[in-house]
Structure 1
């Protein structure tokens, strides 16, 4: 059975690194909200993007789930309402769902990751530490897997997710 793996976490917690590594290991489809946002901004650079990119990602995920492909969504996924978009997509596609939250409990490490980050999506601005700290984000208490990337390597994080698949 296909699974929708939905990530959540603040910028710099390792979501993209883990998601990509998991995709390589499992062969899962990889969808990244940052790339959807960047594509929208190419058309309209001044657009204030709300939940549109989450709905687009959910629709793309559902198409892949319907074909039997496990699909990974890489995004901040900051609130229960955004997380519900993905759980609903999995349910519509009769796929299983795995919620994964990445955190970084060491603020020095987290800050270094944010400030040392190289942007790999053209058109996206690098987040600054103060914006990360002030971001509206609700911890995902119901996540199936919680990864503290101050304590885990990427390969350990991938292995932990695989144990839940």
Structure 2
């Protein structure tokens, strides 16, 4: 049975790093909102800002892949309940389980360093400044989720933690 992995967290906490490391381990499709929104921006439609368009497109692609039996990783900030619910609707529509994963960096100085020094691997995207990250609206989670703190934790250890929670979800129905 396919599973939808819904990553969330502020920019610079390590969502994409974890998603890229996890995807081959679970043979999962990696859907990165930043890539989709950059493509919308550079398309003939020149959609910028993308508002909800990137999320809506990604959720549709996620559902299509889940219906094919593919695991899917949704890699997005998912800052508010509305965006998080888009993924739950895709999982429900495909009749699969979803695993919410909130990625954090508990050390503010380290988080700031990551935001200020990370490379930009998508040319059509402008990375947010530390001030923009700090001002960003990010609602607390109301639903159950796995919290992964990437501060002083190797990527492989975080991925192992997600894989273990995934195994529990498959075996027991919860993590």
RMSD: 1.2
Name the structure 1 match of 2:122: 121
Q: Secondary structure at the match of 1:123?
A: coil
Contact persistence 1:101–1:143 (CA under 8 A): no
Structure 1 ranges of 4+ moved more than 3 A = none
What are the Cα deviations for residues 11-36 of structure 1, in whole angstroms up to 9, with x where unaligned?
Answer: 00000000000002111000000011
Contact persistence 2:40–2:47 (CA under 8 A): no
Flag structure 1 segments of 5+ consecutive residues without an equivalent: none
Name the structure 2 match of 1:157: 158
Name the structure 1 match of 2:38: 38
Contact persistence 1:100–1:143 (CA under 8 A): no
Which runs of structure 2 are paired with 1:132-147 in the superposition (5 Å)?
132-147=133-148
Question: How many residues are paired up?
Answer: 165
In the alignment, the residues of structure 1 paired with residue 144 and residue 61 of structure 2 have an alpha-carbon distance, to the nearest angstrom, of 22
Flag structure 2 segments of 5+ consecutive residues without an equivalent: 167-175
- Cα 1:147–1:36, aligned 2, differ >3 Å: closer, same or farther? same
Name the structure 1 match of 2:92: 91
